[in-house]
Amino acid sequence: MKHLMALFIKFGIVSVVTLSVLSLFEVSVMWILFVTLIVIIPAYFIGDLFIYPRFGSLAAAIGDLGLYTISLWVILFSFVDRSATSFFNAFFASIFITFVEALYHEFYINRMLNLKRVQWKPQLQLRTEYAEEIDPKSAVDNERKRNQGDKK
């Protein structure tokens, strides 16, 4: 039930943004709501349930930006407007959706769903090695001094 409520809230938020932005480009309301419904379902499962708990809000926002841009562009180009401006329409709408999604992640996903955050820690164990720097010229000079000291 919590996931249905999250999808419903996400649909409301994203549809308000897409209605605001895509109506500027003369896209019909039915297409906007249809596109919104198609786009939010994979965005919810990929961005909110997979990326956000593992990598955090920034990674989820970047993933949402890419996912919304590509999916909006494909749908708009395929069904609504077969012009080059459909990519810019999709990108422009995706930017606004990403800003709203950051608020959605913080206030709903984080607080209401209580998803356990997986702490991602890289398994790199790096160590610093210290070595004596060798200058070829000074090494030759030191060798000469040592040889001259041995001859005396």
Q: Report whether 85 contacts 25 (CB < 8 A).
A: yes
| pLDDT tens digits for range 56-95 | 788 888 998 999 999 888 887 887 777 777 788 889 889 9
Residue-range domain boundaries for the chain: 2-109
Cα distances from 116 to residues 54, 78, 112, in angstroms, run: 9, 38, 12
Cα distances from 114 to residues 2, 63, 132, 144, in angstroms, run: 10, 21, 53, 72
Phi, psi torsion values for 69, nearest 5 degrees: -60, -50
Distance CA 34, CA 88 (A): 19
| pLDDT tens digits for range 111-137 | 776 666 666 566 666 677 666 666 666
Q: What is the pLDDT of residue 4?
A: 87
Burial (CB count within 10 angstroms: exposed 0-12, middle 13-18, buried 19+), residue 9? middle
pLDDT at 33 over 60: yes
- Cα 17–chain centre separation: 19
